[in-house]
Amino acid sequence: MRKPRIILPLFHTRKNMFAYAPAFLALALAAPSSLASSIVPNVTGNCVSGTYSTSNPSSWYLQDQTITAPPANLDPAKYSFVAQANARNIRFGSDDHAHFDMHAPPNNGAVRASWSRYMLRGRVSLQLAASNALGMSTGFITFSNSEDEIDFEMIGSEPTSVYTNIFYKGFPEFWHMSKAEIGDIDQMHTLTIDWTKTSIKWIVNGVTIRTVTAGSEELESTMLPAGEQWFPNTPSLPMFSLWQGAWAGTASWTPDIAHTASFGDLTVQCYDDNDQPVPEWPVGSASYVYPPAAGAEAVTPSKRSSQASIPGCTEYTVVNEGETCQSFAKAQGVALAALLTMNPQLKYDCGVLEPGTRICVKRSVFNNAGKEDERVAMKKACSMDTAVEGDTCESIALRNRVSAKQLSEWNAVECKSSTSGSPLTPGTILCVSEPVVKRRRRAADEL
């Protein structure tokens, strides 16, 4: 069996030696055990720069259970990666890649993994070949316990595009999204997130496709408390995943054929508090081992706000065994677009919902200041039209130059009740463009 390939930063060149000199001096003068004892990964980070190969199972923590953070007693120097969901569907070939397989139902749960360390800013790259099958979504994100998030996402229904997004403290606001063409997503690409105190860059194959700056107009939000910015600022786990999502198209299944995403090397460059590259941050991270009681549990994207109270929600319903987003929405008489807008966590889990999860089915406001009602928030999720006397789904589709089939997909509840040209109730609000929450959280709005 091959040994895990962990390539730490190289210091044999004069340039690298001096670039890391302050950190090297600190490491030489301090006792590693005492430094490591002051580290709390989800508060301070425990980043160690290097290139980490996904291809060797001995460098993976592969328990077949659903976990939400690096487990107690984990030595991240031994295990570079942690399987967080459906480890049985992770396989390793001879091609230096880890492969995530999505099988036909009922074995179509999200496959998710993370790096074994938290990083508070830095540059992280992942080699990735996404699934281009309809219904499949492949993601590479950073995600913190506070639900700060920086996303790449690729979906089967748009097999040459990548979506990027940025989230802050889990607030359910989805329009900080961007899209870029990168070529066939099922080919290997190198995706990079460069995160500093003041900016975030999304880079594909060495080309910067998007840059956002803290405090810029692009990141304005009506949802934030006074004095806060829509910008991640808490230590995060780099995560990667394959899952089924309604916004990625309608999945088709063949019993013996899996949909697959493949992952190569993960390369991490830690930054210190001055956004300078260092071999580890904070100092002592290389010797850190998670304690027996592993501290605060991370919140994963698949659980985002699903059990917590959602601001403005006035009614919850519990998921039954076997329900999907679509079947749940129909059973509750709620439009899928509205359900996804009210419950941002569902973007990742629309294949099969977890029984017992509370889902918001009625919500009066969409921000903590109470300034934005449901209709305004929905208008930000899609373009909308309001039915007048005599309108049908067909007439609204014609008026907005979309097909009746598209309108029905975007408004399954409303248009199901308006069959054979029967009129809609005046005042009914319909999405007349694909909802943003279906296009994304596409990219990223777990696993």
Counted domains in the chain: 2
> Is there a contact between 243 and 300 (Cβ–Cβ < 8 Å)?
no
3-state secondary structure of 257: strand
Question: Where is the domain boundary, 299, 333, 360?
Answer: 299
Gap between the Cα atoms of 311 and 305, Å rounded: 10
Q: Which of 55, 51, 8 is nearest to 263 (CA)?
A: 55
Residue 347 located in a structural domain: yes
User: CA geometry: angle at 161 spanning 53 and 340, to 5°?
Assistant: 95
Predicted pLDDT at 367: 37
Burial 333-363 (b: 16+ CB within 10 A, else e): ebbbbbbbbbbbbbbbbbbbbeeebbbbbeb
Residue 447 lies in a domain: no
Q: In this predicted structure, what is the pLDDT of residue 152?
A: 96
Q: What's the Rg (C-alpha) of the chain?
A: 23
Does residue 430 share a domain with residue 327? yes
Cα–Cα distance, 271 to 257 (Å, whole number): 42
Q: Are 341 and 217 found together in one domain?
A: no
Among 299, 318, 334, give the residue marking a domain's end: 299
Tens of pLDDT along the chain (447 residues)?
Answer: 333 333 333 333 333 433 444 444 444 444 455 566 689 999 999 999 999 999 999 999 998 888 878 999 999 999 999 999 999 999 998 899 999 999 988 888 889 999 999 999 999 999 999 999 998 999 999 999 888 999 999 999 899 999 999 988 877 676 788 899 999 999 999 999 999 999 999 999 999 999 999 988 888 887 777 788 899 999 999 999 999 876 777 888 888 889 999 999 999 999 999 999 999 999 999 999 999 864 444 444 433 333 445 656 778 888 887 787 778 888 888 877 677 767 765 654 455 677 777 888 887 544 333 333 344 444 445 667 777 778 888 888 888 778 888 888 777 777 865 455 778 877 677 787 776 544 443 333 333
Same domain flag for 291 and 341: no
Task: Indicate if 274 and 327 belong to the same structural domain.
Answer: no
Statement to judge: residues 282 and 333 lie in one domain: no
Instruction: Examine residue 412 and state whether it is found in any structural domain, yes or no.
Output: yes
Instruction: Let me know whether 336 and 292 are in one domain.
Output: no
Rounded distance between C-alpha atoms, residue 363 and residue 378, angstroms: 12
Q: What is the pLDDT of residue 4?
A: 37
The answer to whether residue 148 is domain-embedded is yes
Whether residue 251 is contained in a domain is answered as yes
Which of 271, 299, 327 finishes a domain? 299
- Report the SS3 class of residue 410: helix
Are both 326 and 230 inside the same structural domain? no
Residue 343 lies in a domain: yes
Instruction: Please tell me whether residues 85 and 220 are part of one structural domain.
Output: yes
29 and 166 both lie in a single domain: yes
Is 114 in the same domain as 186? yes
**pLDDT reported for residue 59:** 97
Q: Which two tokens stand for residue 25?
A: 């001096």
Do 262 and 360 lie in one domain? The reply is no
CATH assignment at residue 176: 2.60.120.200
**CA separation (Å) from 55 to 52, 168, 173, 241?**
9, 32, 36, 15
Residue given tokens 């899996």 in the structure block: 258
Query: Per the domain annotation, does 330 fall within a domain?
Result: yes
Residue 266 token pair: 């993960």
* Residue 1 included in any domain: no
**Given this model, what pLDDT does residue 7 score?**
35
Range of the domain at 340: 303-439
Question: What 3-state DSSP class applies to 26?
Answer: helix
Query: Are 357 and 411 within one domain?
Result: yes
